[in-house]
Every structure is written in structure tokens, then in C-alpha cells.
Amino acid sequence: MSRCFYLETFGCQMNVVDSERIVALLGEIGYQQVESPDTADLILLNTCSVRDKAERKVYGHLGRFKPLKQARPELILGVGGCVAQQEGERLLEKLPYLDIVFGTHNVHRLPEMVQKVESGRERCQETDFLDGETRLQLFPRRSEGEGIVRFVTVMQGCDNFCSYCVVPLVRGREISRPSHEVLDEIRDLAQSGVREVTLIGQNVNSYGLRQSDEPNFAGLLRQVQKIEGIERIRFTTSHPRDLSDELIDCFGELSKLCLHLHLPLQSGSDAILKRMNRGYSAADYLRKVERLRTVAPDIRLTTDIIVGFPGESDNDFAATLAAVREVGYADAFTFLYSPRPGTAAADYDDPMPASEKQIHFDALLKLQLETSARIWASDVGKTAAVLVEGRSKQGGGQLFGRTTWNRIVNFEGGDELIGTIVPVRIVRSFKNSQLGETLGV
Ligand code: SAH
Ligand code: SF4
Ligand code: F3S
């Protein structure tokens, strides 16, 4: 009997990749994905706990599914990802209508857990971390699926323990995937029509550093550059501390490497960076930016900033504004600090009232919106190379793709352009995308 499942994914690329794996694994036991929870036999949430707001969203969503479960008691409800990892058994205790809790190292166990619930309606929970060797064997190898752009996992976990961050607690220790596996996967993807890969990990710059027989991240990029069929390479996320000169120089040397780097600054104040345990100063960061711009003058940078870290003074915040102004980011994700259980900063003194933090936050946002608008508007009139990904869901079915700077461009054109790089004249710039036209139109 064919059954169907509904899956919602929150959080970062790690969860996106895990969700692709969930779809494949459930397919093997006869479950098909559907777009609405209303008729699904199984509902799964792949969750994020990086900030309190993200975590609360999960509870909100689960609440929405409760009436469905009451109407159809045979419905199976499961939670995976980072909230599941952090909460474990407690989630089952808190939510009596929940059937399955699976952690970030336990995605492969999901089919068995689902079958267990189906047969006996026994609720289950698996959130144990796996050790290095077992974990490596479980790294998803994905050649199936379609699309022009794909994420490829090169490492998992994080050992940086930035004092505000829950990721090391919910994703476990850092581990790099063997380079031959990464490269084989990318070759397979290229064969099946993928033209752009984004290499992902919490801190890709430390790829391979612990294995003497493996290339470092710059070496890995050089190998990916050689793969036929792959036209574009991106990677995320980069820790500024581990952004080596060798890696920076890749932006000048590797023709397929896109001219966009997401380089989270977090703060422009040395005192705050120190208490965040980031391992670099504002000057270190700015020196790296300068080198990036020397080797690749057209590169655009994006960043993450936390506002209102415990003890952040007006002066500290002014230093952040100054750094943001100096770099001139094309985009920035700005976050109000959110204390996370189990992290070092959760115990720090945090005297500043929320209203003052909000004033800082608004000032930063204003600066960033102005900068972004200026940078993206400067593209109008230029011709940019766009890798066409498909038909956009909005905008009357125009084609969409992205420029080297990772900006979405919508334009009119035929299906034959999908998967190719097309010169597109940018005619308008909006907040999150641009409108273009093919030359000669
Ligand atoms: N591994 C990546 C991203 C991790 S999470 C990195 O190191 O850059 C994404 C972003 O969420 C972080 O860069 C940080 O800006 C933000 N973030 C993480 N924990 C946070 C917290 N407790 N409060 C507010 N923002 C946080
Ligand atoms: Fe979190 Fe820091 Fe690791 Fe990024 S590098 S995931 S911010 S601990
Ligand atoms: Fe969120 Fe987990 Fe990613 S906490 S940001 S989904 S690693």
C-alpha cells in the first residue's frame, strides 16, 4: 500500500541535505512526498535550534498538527534535526501526540523507526551521537534527484564552540568526508546535469586539516575545478580565522569559483569577538577582506552579525557599525543575540535592556539595507552571466538563475536555456532579486 509523507525543513543547509536524504530513505519503504499535511500518513519536521525564535517555530508548527492527529489517530508525527537532538526524550514527554524523535546522527534510522510505530504504535526516540568511523559510513552519497545546482556535504559537526552557539552541541564533533567520496559524488552529479555545486559544512575552511593524507580545502577546490560539466563552485560557511591565504588566492585562480563569499563577522569589537571565542580580531578580518579584494576585485561579501551579545556596549556596537561600513557587504544576516541552553554565553551577565539592543539592531539594519540597495542597484545596465536554474514559481513563469554574486535574476526565455550560462542585462534591482533581459530582446 502506498503511503505519503509531508516534510517541513527549517534551519541551514545541513538540514536541507538531511531532508533530501529523508525523502530518499522514506521512498525506499514506499512513502511518497506530498505538498500538504492534510492527507499525509506521516508528518515530519526537520528542525533548527540556533535561536530561540527558530525553536519556538517548531512548537508552533507541531501545535498546528495536533488537531490532525486527533482527527486521524493513525497519523504518525515525527521531529528530527537540532531541536530533536537537544531535547530528545523531553520532546516525547512534553508532546503526548508525538510519535518519533530522531537526532542529527540518526537520520538513517528513520525508516526503521517509522515501521516500528506503524506496527505497534510504539513511540520511539533515537538521539545518540555516532563516533567518527560509523558516522563517515553514513555520510549521504547523493547522485539521484534532479536540478542544476546542488549542495554537497564536505564535513559535518563543529568544534569551534563559539560561546553563543548551540551547533557544536547539536551536530557533534567536526568530521571531514574523504575527498575521493566528495569528488565522486560531484562527478555523478555533473553526469546527471548538475552545473553548480555548493560545498557545505559548518566551517569548510578547516576541511581535511586533521588528516595528513587528505588535501586541505583549497586543494579540494582545485580538484573540483577539474571536474568536467561543473561550471560553478561555491562554498559555505567560512570561519574567518581559518580563511588561509592559499584559500583566498583560489578566488583569483579558479575560474569556476563564484565571486561571492559569506564570511560571518559576528562583531566588529575585539572585546566582544574575544568573549564570543571567535579567534580573530576585527583587524585580522579586515586584512583578509583586503587580500580577497586584491586577488578578486569584483568579489562580493555577505556576513552574519549578532547584535546585543552579553556585555556589548554602545562602543562595541559602534565598532561593529564601523566594520560593516568599511567592508560594504552586499548582504548581511543580522540577529539579536538569543541565549541558548548549554552554551557558555548563556551564563554571561547581560545587563542591556532589550529596548536598547533593538535600537542598535535597527541602526545596523538601516545601514545594511542602504548598502545592499546601493550595491545591487549598481548592477543595473550591466550584463551578467546567469546560470539558469529553471522556471520561477512567481513572476509569470519567467526563467530564473543566479549571477556569480549569488543574486537571483528573473528574465524571459525558453526552456532550452535551463542549465546553461546566459549573458543577461540587468534592468531592475529589487530587495531580493533582479529583473533582467537576454541580449537582443
Ligand atoms: N557555522 C556558521 C553558521 C552557524 S549559525 C558560522 O560559523 O558562521 C548561523 C548564524 O547564526 C551565525 O553565524 C550567527 O550569526 C547566528 N547565531 C548563532 N547562534 C546565535 C545566537 N545564540 N543568537 C543569535 N544569533 C546566533
Ligand atoms: Fe557555531 Fe561558531 Fe561553529 Fe559557526 S563556527 S557553527 S558560529 S560554533
Ligand atoms: Fe540550525 Fe542546526 Fe543548522 S541549529 S543552523 S539547523 S546546524
Q: Are 131-258 and 261-378 the same fold in CATH?
A: yes
Asked if residue 274 lies in contact with residue 344, where contact means CB atoms within 8 angstroms, the answer is no
Q: How far apart are CA 97 and CA 78, in angstroms?
A: 10
Q: How far apart are CA 193 and CA 143, in angstroms?
A: 10
Domain definitions of the chain by residue range: 3-128, 131-258, 261-378, 383-438
pTM of the model: 0.95
CATH number of 3-128: 3.40.50.12160
22-30 LR contacts (CB < 8 Å, sep 24+)? 22/46, 22/80, 22/107, 22/110, 24/140, 24/142, 24/144, 25/107, 25/108, 25/110, 25/111, 26/110, 26/111, 26/114, 28/111, 29/111, 29/114, 29/115, 30/1, 30/2, 30/3
Answer yes or no: CATH 1.10.3720.10 is held by domain 131-258: no
For the Cβ of 200 lying below 6 angstroms from any atom of ligand 2, the answer is no
Superfamily designation of domain 383-438? Nucleic acid-binding proteins (2.40.50.140)
Q: How far apart are CA 221 and CA 208, in angstroms?
A: 12
Choosing from 167, 305, 340 the residue with most ligand 2 atoms within 8 A of its CB, the one to mutate for a pocket test is 167
For the Cβ of 167 lying below 6 angstroms from any atom of ligand 3, the answer is yes
Q: 181-200 as b/e, with b when 16 or more CB fall inside 10 Å? A: ebbebbeebbeeebbbbbbb
pLDDT tens digits, one per residue of 107-161: 999 999 999 999 987 899 999 999 877 887 777 666 666 799 999 999 999 999 9
The total number of residues written for the chain in this structure: 441
pLDDT for 55? 85
pLDDT for 140? 66
Closest ligand 1 atom to the C-alpha of 336? 24
Give the cell for residue 209: 586539516
Q: How far apart are CA 140 and CA 104, in angstroms?
A: 13
Amino acid at 321: L
Q: Which ligand is nearest to the CA of 308?
A: 1
- Give yes or no for residue 441 having a pLDDT over 60: no
Query: Is beta strand 3-9 parallel, antiparallel or unpaired with respect to 42-47?
Result: parallel
C-alpha of residue 171 to centroid of ligand 2, in Å? 10
pLDDT tens digits, one per residue of 360-379: 999 999 999 999 999 999 99
C-alpha of residue 73 to centroid of ligand 2, in Å? 40
Q: Pick one of 1.10.3720.10, 2.30.30.40, 3.30.750.200, 3.40.50.300 as the CATH number of 261-378.
A: 3.30.750.200
pLDDT band at residue 341, thresholds of 50, 70 and 90? very high
For the Cβ of 167 lying below 6 angstroms from any atom of ligand 1, the answer is yes
For the Cβ of 82 lying below 6 angstroms from any atom of ligand 3, the answer is yes
| Average pLDDT over the chain, rounded to an integer | 94
